Structure 1
């Protein structure tokens, strides 16, 4: 069934994607839904609360997941029990990672794609240790047990109106020590210094081997790359990274068909929205 409402994170997403989604063979409404973690429950609530509304969401990948093997299709982020897709996430790191595409930059600003690509690769090289560190934190964070695994009631209490058989101080305090202690062991194992160093080493090695622009835009934060390019942007007519980003965004808004032609993933997204 075609998607009728697509939730995205913020203002930039809406500005860039509104004209792009206007090319879809179905009519749909684009709405900003806030933080990426809030999009899934909001999309589910919209489906349940409004008859005939087919709500889905699209979020940044960030450091929450490794890049997919193929960047030709948006990645399914969540599905309903029926197997219907509830949400997708970008293949590249975030929306800015698409705005920094060399062909787009050249078309929007006149900055030679060849010259710009060299500067982008140099910026990535400068960011390598920082990006490896961010990835290491992301890997640690995704490995942490969710807070829902530390409930404030004993797990054997299956009825919401139920108490433990022993509510004495000795029994309750012993339960807390055992319960929180087990959770702490999971956390400590994930955040162990040896494990963290292994993640840092692995990400440094992986990022060091990236020589293609597409790979850089998949593995690196677009916002970080934009910040690293700031000294060069300051010498250009755009003068600062926010104006530079705005100009790239405006080019997509003015030429959505040309923008979609640059990214097979965007073309696939339009098809998925019409045939979900």
Structure 2
């Protein structure tokens, strides 16, 4: 059977649930929140014992192989799989972008939801570039933490958003020194990964060129709120989310707003349960 239930991160009436309700309207798929990401895979496998058509959608997050993030040329969601021996079980999908906030800050989405004219949209895009510049070192630090994290132990990747490069390097060292959860975090490798990915995240870098996909949407929004020149509604997150989601919910074809949303809808509609044998970098 095709997908009947799509579980997602977040809570009832949260932005993830409401966005997916709009994108998947008319498909017959029921969208349900799962809460956080912890035990999400186990929840899907347990639900499938009773309802085979259960799948999940999780945030993109920073991948262990950052280069793989920007290699895809199609707008479709990344597949979320779980290794089972020599096979991989398809659990669902990952957002193409870091998290749901990345979509809510997209210039095309904001222009439609807030009814901006071309001049207002261009002004926003120019202002957004300043925010991306300010988040280059922060994003490199968070990517480094993800690359170097032990595979079986959770590692918090949040860092100070207003820290300098030198302060971030010290913060990474402190995190490595404090990491005592049964697995070692190699300080030298962590700092090397940070230095390696800094150029990727600054102007002209491969990740900087895809900042609205790769940089954390929550970090972008936080910097917007402390950067002058942005439209006042962008400083008020609850009101901003409500305006966007309300506009989507009242649109006849909300999935057409972005190619990624149309591709996700198509992927969900086309899915049928089957053993997964191909390797994928999106495995859980």
TM range (shorter): 0.7 to 0.9
**Does residue 105 in structure 1 map to residue 110 in structure 2?**
yes
> RMSD of aligned C-alpha atoms?
2.6
In structure 2, the CA distance between the partners of 1:223 and 1:256, relative to structure 1 (3 Å rule), is farther
In structure 1, distance between residues paired with 2:234 and 2:77:
31
Following superposition, the deviation at residue 119 of structure 1 comes to: 0.9
Deviation by residue 1:112-157 (Cα, 9 ceiling, x = unmatched)? 221111111110101111111111112222xx1426xxxxxxxxxx
Following superposition, the deviation at residue 214 of structure 1 comes to: 6.9
What's 2:192 paired with?
Answer: 198
User: Which ranges of structure 2 fall in alignment gaps of 5 or more residues?
Assistant: 154-179, 272-284
What's 1:125 paired with?
Answer: 133
Any conservation in 1 of the 2:201–2:208 contact (CA below 8 Å)?
A: no
Match of 2:147 among 134, 139, 143: 139
In structure 2, distance between residues paired with 1:250 and 1:240:
15
In structure 1, distance between residues paired with 2:208 and 2:186:
34
Match of 2:266 among 248, 267, 271: 271
In structure 2, the CA distance between the partners of 1:213 and 1:104, relative to structure 1 (3 Å rule), is farther
Following superposition, the deviation at residue 5 of structure 1 comes to: 0.6
TM-score normalised to structure 2 length: 0.72
Aligned pairs (5 A) from 1:8-23: 8-10=8-10, 11-23=14-26
**Does residue 63 in structure 1 map to residue 62 in structure 2?**
yes
More displaced stretch, 195-204 vs 226-235 = 226-235
Aligned pairs (5 A) from 1:65-84: 65=64, 66=66, 67-70=69-72, 71-78=74-81
Deviation by residue 1:60-95 (Cα, 9 ceiling, x = unmatched)? 011244325225111111158676632110111111
What's 2:246 paired with?
Answer: 250
Any conservation in 2 of the 1:7–1:32 contact (CA below 8 Å)?
A: yes
What's 1:37 paired with?
Answer: 38
User: Which ranges of structure 1 fall in alignment gaps of 5 or more residues?
Assistant: 148-183
Q: How many residues align?
A: 230
In structure 1, distance between residues paired with 2:264 and 2:233:
34
